[in-house]
Amino acid sequence: MSKTTEAHAQLSFFESVNRNFDRAAVHTGLPKGLLAQIKACNAVYQVRFPVKIGNEYQVIEAYRVQHSHHRLPTKGGIRYSQKVNQDEVMALASLMTYKCAIVDVPFGGAKGGVKISPRSYTPAQLQKITRRYTTELIRKNFIGPGIDVPAPDYGTGAREMGWILDTYLTFKGGEIDAAGCVTGKPVNQNGIRGRTEATGRGVFYALREALSYKDDMDKLGLTTGMEGKRIAIQGLGNVGYHTGIICQEEGGALITCVAEYEGAIFNPKGLDIKALAKHRKETGSILDFPGAKNLTGRKDVLEIDCDVLIPAALENQIRVDNAPRVKAKIIAEAANGPITAAAEEILIEKGILIIPDMYCNAGGVTVSYFEWLKNLSHMRFGRMEKRFDQNTYHNLVALVERLTGKTIDNKERALLTKGADEIDLVRSGLEETMVTSYNEIRKVYKRKKAVQDLRTAAFINALGKIGSDYLALGIFP
């Protein structure tokens, strides 16, 4: 290992993100002062609050970091994990800034974290913790539809977001746009259809687009298209689950290996993700799934022979100790920061194509943006135009029948004349976002000969947009 690689191996998560920032910054031509402003975390809030659990009080450690205010509100998920610390939350907040810029979502980056293990608490206890955390954010003006808008992350979901909204309404009941204070809410609590699957679907669109370029795939020794590609997934949470199902059902991929905290399983003929999820719900484990082989260790998934590896768990999973044994041709980072800076150098030398996290998992914030817009407009997407479009399509079909003398059967008629529902529009908007963003990143990657990876290209793309925003504000001449 070189001295440089040795030093990188010791980097924290936040330092690793900033190292990637520095590597891209030299290609932007932006002033040093401006780059320093973009790089810095603007506000870090650390809080400890008491919550009564059973017959005793526990002091809970929590964070909210607003990385950049170049656009408001700031936006980012809330993570519940025993591993939460300030460095991690700062790193995730900074990634959110760059992620929002890459997919042209008009937010600054933020992130929250509560240092607990959700499995150690009952739903009632989690609700008390969530409501108290929200209260602390309200007291410090760290939440609001025009200030800072949280969303789900590791260990949280629609349930927790519903509790946050209800707590916010208790304090801000007369605020007309109060529903926009948080996204990822249940649909019946001002949420949006398609939000639960959004990050996984975004990973699917990102991977599908990467696989569509013949010259890129020729370098990897792969054919174009997702059909028949062998995919290994680390993590069967919300993101891994939906990524697997959509790649399987809409892309025709083979999910050959899946890992969770209890272990990993493998089947070269493919695993049925829906059946696997049902098996895990019934048995409490993915192990001993019919037709699959149990692997010796849960991290074996990272070294399995496959075409595409999708880390969908936590950060720092691929490190210098296991990177040389990674056999995948493509790594699609569904999780945040799954590859350390030192490990990435090894993977790039091996010729592996890495689809970076701040683009690959941006489906969640993209659809959160759609939800926020829905909350501010106070109207469901598709309500105004669905019936008009449906009637127009029906008239066109009728005209075709008259001109051709042929009759279109009811099944085809229903398909041709369908007006778009909310989920159709959400999926369409997400697909457009992910496809357009990938092509922007790839264009930078192809244009700049000194850039050897998509992550650096993505950073360059993001920094250019954020820099333009700051320059437009007149802060930097």
Strand extents, DSSP E, 68-204: 74-80, 108-114, 148-152
Question: Is residue 204 a contact partner of residue 225, using CB atoms and an 8 Å limit?
Answer: no
CB atoms within 10 A of CB 279: 20
Burial 292-323 (b: 16+ CB within 10 A, else e): beebeebebbbbbebbbbbbbbbbbbbbbeeb
CB 441 within 8 A of CB 463: no
Which amino acid is residue 121, in one-letter code?
A: Y
Residue 305 neighbours by CB under 8 Å, 6+ apart? 230, 327
Residue 418 DSSP class: P
Q: How far apart are CA 157 and CA 293, in angstroms?
A: 31
Q: Residues 75, 111, 185, 386: which is the catalytic one?
A: 111
Order the strands of the 330-332 sheet from edge to edge. Answer: 293-294, 263-266, 254-260, 230-234, 308-311, 330-332, 353-355
Both structure tokens of 153: 């992350």
Strand pairing class (330-332; 308-311): parallel
As given in the structure block, the two tokens for residue 315 are 């950060």
| Residue at 131: amino acid letter | R
Residues 448 and 15: beta-carbon distance below 8 Å: no
Q: If we measure between CA atoms, which residue out of 364, 340, 352 comes closest to residue 454?
A: 352
Where is 238: in which H helix or E strand? helix 238-249
Tell me the C-alpha distance between 77 and 83, whole Å.
16
Nearest to 253 by CA among 180, 203, 314: 203
User: Phi and psi for 372 in degrees, rounded to 5?
Assistant: -60, -45
Annotated catalytic, 39?
A: no
Centroid of chain to Cα 132: 26
Residue 31: is the preceding peptide bond cis (ω within 30°)?
Answer: no
CA 393/CA 415 separation, integer angstroms:
10
Q: Nearest CA to 333 among 206, 442, 242, 247?
A: 206
* Catalytic positions: 111
